[in-house]
């Protein structure tokens, strides 16, 4: 696997470099959608999935709302109703269309969405060119936040497109992708973290979200983390051992969810003639037993860990380990868009799948919600969700770091999510 040649989006930059970054990220979103037909753009298969055209418009709404309206003199909205249609959840900037009904919007058309994007891009180029204005530092900071926000939605585009395509009985391929096979014998080792006080959280220059601050001390008991992710083949053993039928392995809410949803295997898995197949972005394929298991809920990860006599790591344990290793792995730039078998000697700490931890998504000690609408970005979601770490096969390399805290509800499975095991040192 190759590392990305992209650098981190900088904290401070020249107007020409910032504009180049802006145009590159905006083009990336449209390139992701290039294989789609117009009929694909408007579908919403579950509440968690948003139509691709909504994603494309929402990220443009972000720049329009938080940069062009407050900073560009005499800026005129592209359409007066778009502020309502493409606001996601920002209560402080107006009303928003109900999330479950995004797929009911036949209009605006795909063509109008791309016209909206071009309109916003033209205005942003004018705004970013004037680096002598006194408020330019704030414009830079908000633009960089907007670009990282758009990269988050690029991940969501991949995950949502996969769900949309999987919903079709035709099982269409997003595009043809060739995956690598196992390059060496699959082994597992244990990587130890010494007992003691560790520091986690962001420090120094470079972009990070507010939920990664402040850096702080935390106590970690002696622990070992697996040197690789749990594989499909290992999870097949859990299924074969009737793991989905044993209530003693499951958290109470997890067992209730298994019963209500009828879960018998990871999302997208289907058994055919005694073998497992699953949906990928390259169509319906046999499950590779050596690749990391994916589209797993926290409940399933936790149940497997109990069955194996292990547990899930905490986010502090995970970060204490990951911060010792270079940022390298099966991230978006490898172009596999799917978890793949372990290649080489790295530990799959970055890429392949977002890794569930047992840590509740909560503020760090000393965390303060940023003022204004930007404060709604992360802080108000710090309840009833769990932290995932490490990025996935659809995460841009420049977007991930050891301190990055993703978060989802325990039952969520449509994301590229998996896990590794941990055990206490005794």
Give the pLDDT band of residue 183 (cuts 50, 70, 90): low
pLDDT number for residue 3:
29
Give the pLDDT band of residue 6 (cuts 50, 70, 90): very low
CATH 3.90.1580.10 fits 190-424, yes or no: yes
Give the pLDDT band of residue 370 (cuts 50, 70, 90): confident
Reported as a single tens digit per residue, the pLDDT across 375-423 is: 767 788 899 999 999 999 999 999 999 999 999 999 999 999 999 999 9
CB atoms within 10 A of CB 127: 21
Find the mean pLDDT for residues 135-139. 94
Reported as a single tens digit per residue, the pLDDT across 167-181 is: 999 999 999 999 888
> Quick check: 5 pLDDT over 50?
no
Give the rounded distance of the alpha carbon of 67 from its chain centre: 24
> If you average pLDDT over every residue of the chain, what do you get?
93
Contact (Cβ atoms closer than 8 angstroms) between residue 345 and residue 183: no
The CA distance from 238 to 289, in Å, is 13
The CA distance from 207 to 332, in Å, is 19
Pick 377 or 150 by higher pLDDT: 150
pLDDT number for residue 374:
75
How would you classify residue 337: left for phi > 0, otherwise alpha for psi between -120 and 50, otherwise beta? left
pLDDT number for residue 396:
97
pLDDT number for residue 2:
28
Q: What is the CA radius of gyration of the chain?
A: 22
Reported as a single tens digit per residue, the pLDDT across 256-289 is: 999 999 999 999 999 998 999 999 999 999 999 9
Find the mean pLDDT for residues 310-315. 98
Residues of each domain in the chain carrying CATH 3.90.1580.10? 190-424
Q: Is 252 helix (H, G, I), strand (E, B) or coil?
A: helix
Q: Over pLDDT 70: what percentage of the chain?
A: 96
Reported as a single tens digit per residue, the pLDDT across 320-347 is: 999 999 999 999 999 999 999 998 878 9
> Quick check: 208 pLDDT over 70?
yes
- Would you state the CATH architecture of domain 15-167? Up-down Bundle (1.20)
Residues of each domain in the chain carrying CATH 1.20.120? 15-167
Reported as a single tens digit per residue, the pLDDT across 9-22 is: 444 468 889 999 99
pLDDT number for residue 344:
80
Give the pLDDT band of residue 206 (cuts 50, 70, 90): confident
pLDDT number for residue 13:
65
Contact (Cβ atoms closer than 8 angstroms) between residue 290 and residue 352: no
Reported as a single tens digit per residue, the pLDDT across 215-241 is: 999 999 999 999 999 999 999 999 999
- DSSP codes joined into one string, 64-110: IIIIIHHHSTT---S-TTHHHHS--S-GGG-----GGGGGG---S-H
pTM for the predicted model, two decimal places: 0.94
């Amino acid at each position: 696997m190759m590392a990305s040649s992209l650098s981190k989006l900088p904290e401070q930059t020249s107007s020409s470099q910032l504009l180049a970054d802006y145009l590159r990220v905006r083009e990336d979103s449209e390139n992701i959608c290039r294989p789609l037909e117009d009929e694909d753009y408007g579908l919403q298969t579950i509440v968690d999935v948003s139509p691709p055209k909504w994603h494309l418009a929402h990220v443009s709404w972000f720049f329009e709302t938080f940069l062009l309206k407050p900073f560009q003199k005499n800026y005129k909205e592209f359409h007066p109703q778009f502020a309502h249609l493409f606001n996601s959840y920002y209560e402080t900037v107006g009303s928003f269309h109900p999330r479950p009904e995004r797929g009911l919007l036949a209009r605006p058309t795909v063509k109008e969405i791309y016209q909206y994007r071009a309109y916003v891009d033209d205005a942003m180029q004018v705004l970013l060119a004037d680096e002598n204005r006194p408020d330019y530092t704030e414009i830079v900071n908000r633009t960089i936040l907007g670009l990282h926000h758009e990269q988050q939605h690029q991940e969501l585009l991949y995950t949502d497109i996969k769900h949309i395509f999987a919903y079709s009985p035709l099982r269409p391929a997003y595009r043809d992708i060739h995956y690598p096979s196992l390059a060496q014998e699959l082994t597992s080792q244990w990587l130890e973290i010494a007992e003691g006080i560790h520091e986690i959280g962001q420090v120094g220059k470079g972009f990070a979200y507010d939920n990664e601050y402040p850096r702080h001390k935390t106590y970690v008991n002696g622990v070992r983390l697996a040197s690789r992710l749990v594989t499909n083949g290992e999870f097949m053993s859990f299924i074969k051992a009737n793991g989905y039928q044993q209530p003693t392995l499951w958290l109470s809410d997890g067992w209730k969810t298994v019963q209500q949803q009828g879960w018998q295997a990871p999302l997208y898995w289907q058994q055919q003639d005694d073998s497992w197949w699953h949906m990928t972005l390259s169509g319906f394929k046999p499950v590779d037993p050596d690749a990391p298991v994916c589209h797993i809920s926290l409940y399933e990860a936790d149940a497997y860990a109990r069955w194996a006599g292990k547990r899930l790591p905490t986010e502090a344990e995970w970060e204490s380990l990951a911060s010792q290793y270079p940022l390298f792995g099966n991230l978006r730039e490898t172009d596999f868009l799917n978890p793949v078998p372990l290649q080489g000697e790295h530990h799959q700490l970055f890429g392949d799948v977002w890794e569930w931890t047992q840590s509740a998504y909560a503020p760090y000690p000393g965390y303060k919600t940023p003022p204004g609408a930007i404060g709604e970005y992360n802080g108000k979601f710090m309840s009833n969700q769990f932290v995932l770490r490490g990025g996935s096969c659809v995460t841009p390399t420049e977007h991930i770091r050891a301190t990055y805290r993703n978060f989802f509800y325990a039952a969520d499975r449509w994301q590229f999510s998996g896990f590794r095991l941990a055990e206490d040192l005794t």
